[in-house]
Every structure is written in C-alpha cells, then in structure tokens.
Amino acid sequence: MRAVIVAAAVAFIISLFGTPVAIRVFTALKAGQPIRAVGPATHQGKKGTPTMGGVAFIVATVLAYVAGHVALTTLPSQQIAQVQPTMTALVLLGLFVFCGAVGFLDDFLKVRKRHSGGLSAKGKLLGQLLVGGGLGVAALYVPSTNGQTVASEHISFIRDISLLDVGKVGSVIVFVFVIMSMSNGVNLTDGLDGLATGASILVLGAYALIGFWQYRHWCGDTNYTGDYCYQVRDPLEIALIAAAAAGACVGFLWWNTSPARIFMGDTGALGLGGLIGGLAMATRTTLLSIIIGGLFVIITMSVVIQIISFKTTGKRVFRMSPLQHHFELAGWSEVNIVVRFWIVAGICVAIGLGLFYSDFLRVMG
C-alpha cells in the first residue's frame, strides 16, 4: 500500500508544480490550441490557450512509477518479483507514452499549421493500431516465469469467461480494439475545461482500487491462504501505475479546470485512453470497463448515433456531437455540464466497483 500511496503523491506533486512550467514553455513556443470554426461560438475565447498539456502528467506518472519502486524495496524478500520492473509496467506505461506520442504528433501539426486539422483520421488510427498491436503482442506472447501473461486469451467481464477463449491472435485483436476504442472515447470526451481530466481521475482511481484488491487476493502470492484468488499478472504494478496516473491528473486538473490555463490536447487524451484500455485488459475486466468508463462510452455513442442518423435520414439527433456540445447549445454553462458529467462518470464507476466486489462476495459465499 505504501508504494501505491507514494506513487500517487509524487505524481500529484510533480504534475501540480510541473504543469505551470509546461504552460510557460508551450506559451513561449506559441503552441496555442486552434479552435474549430464549426464548434460552439463560446469556444473562440479559448483560442491560443497552450495545448499538449498531457506531456506534464505523462512525465509525472513515469517519474512517480520510479518513486513507487523505491518504496517497494521495503517489501519482504518473497515478494521481490514485484519490485523489479515488469512486462505489465512496460505494456501499461508504453500505452500511455506511445498513444500520447501519436496525440502529440497530432497536436504538433495543429500548432504548426495554425489549424484545428492535425494528423488525418487515418493517420491517427494507424498510429493507435501500431501501438496497440505491438504492445498487444508483448502482452500476449511474453509470459512470466509462471506462464502468466499481461493479457488473457479469454474475453473477460469481472474475470475471464472460460467459454470465450479467442486464442492469442484473437486476444491481440481484442487488445487493439479496446485500446483504440478507449483512446478515442477519452479524446471525444475532451473539449470542455476539466471534463476528460476529471472523468479519467475517477476511472483511474477505480482501477487503482481493483488492482490493489487483486494484489491482496493474488494467486501469485505464496502467503495468500484465501479460498479465491485472481489470476492476473503483477497486480501491484497495476495499482501503482493507475494510482500514479490518477494523482498526476489531479495535479493537472488544478490548472485545467475552468477557465483552463492549459489543455491536455490529443497528447493527454489518447495517452489516458490507451492506459485505461490497458488497465482493463491487465485486470481481466474488459467488458466491465464499458461500465466503469461509462461516460466515455455514452459520449462516443452520441457521435455514432449522430453520424448514422444524419447519413440515413439527413436529420441530426443532437444539436451537435459529441454530447457535451449538445448541452452547450441548449444553454447549459460549461461548468454545469462538466460537473454533471463528472457525476455521471462517478455513478458509472460506483456501479462498476459494486459489480466487481459483489462478484468476489458471490464466489467467496
């Protein structure tokens, strides 16, 4: 527990005090966010706000991971396998950094062109595909000494569903799909000051709790004598990274909340989505992540519904998509939308955690 708390605290402090540095650097580089002309008129006042802020909390998370491992040196010798950097950490931090790198390229092109059109949609998807595919192979084909891999060959809900064995190749495809879906979901949620950051904090906090609970009831712990354990790889690493990312986002939110001094940009949004998708695969909660990340799913579906409706009937279901812009045009203030959407995200997280814990009680009962 000490390592998880240390990682979260270090990430928070680095992000809180590092983000103002990022603000000054990106302001000096004239890395201001271009605003789409077709968006809500109120957003034009945000033009020029520095973007690429995701760099701050990604760096903070990686540094906090190192600090957490320093704290792990106090663990008993029989748990030393958890002290060394693991394939789980490589996959999760790799998703965070490299999905963020795809977003950074998109942000860079927007700033350079002084236009809201950065990397093409195909280019962005190709980048996500390469990152997800490469790390998906690592997650499925590089086992630990006991044969456990980061991701599973089964489709999972709260744990692996034994009847849904899709094999290694199928699991890599599922891995890529989850990463691309979640990274684009967080990206679509971004757009109002603090919205995606706050929602991500709630989801990451949930995965920190899930990871730590799995660590306390872990099949790999030789000292655990309970009747039920979780077949996952490196759950303490999962909890540590999720907690570090949540702490880093809290520090970033101080500067990202309305009126935002800096935007996370696609750098942060794609990075966070990639990490959350990876956490879902590593904890064997792939389908449960649809509930835990319910706000991201709802907002993504609003875009899908809008596109299908317009292409098939020529009519729009919403005034504008994603969903948060519909409420903007309906007259809601930005702060009201953000806080109410946070409430929705919190409800989704609470339902997801409730289902996770109730499954444990059911099995133990």
* pLDDT tens profile 276-286: 999 999 999 99
Q: Is residue 45 over pLDDT 70?
A: no
| DSSP 8-state assignment for residue 79 | G
Please, are residues 262 and 49 in contact by the beta-carbon 8 Å criterion?
yes
| DSSP 8-state assignment for residue 50 | B
Other beta carbons within 10 angstroms of residue 77's beta carbon come to: 6
Q: Is residue 79 over pLDDT 50?
A: no
Residue-level pLDDT at 114: 75
**DSSP element (H, E) containing 30:** none
Could you give the CA distance from residue 14 to residue 66 in angstroms, rounded to a whole number?
13
The average pLDDT across 145-173 equals 91
3-state secondary structure of 218: strand
Q: Is residue 232 over pLDDT 90?
A: yes
Residue-level pLDDT at 80: 44
The average pLDDT across 324-341 equals 95
Q: Is residue 83 over pLDDT 70?
A: no
Q: List beta partners, residue 230.
A: 218
Residue-level pLDDT at 21: 96
Please, are residues 168 and 176 in contact by the beta-carbon 8 Å criterion?
no
pTM confidence score = 0.93
Residue-level pLDDT at 224: 78
Could you give the CA distance from residue 262 to residue 252 in angstroms, rounded to a whole number?
9
Cis ω for the linkage preceding 322 (within 30 of 0): yes
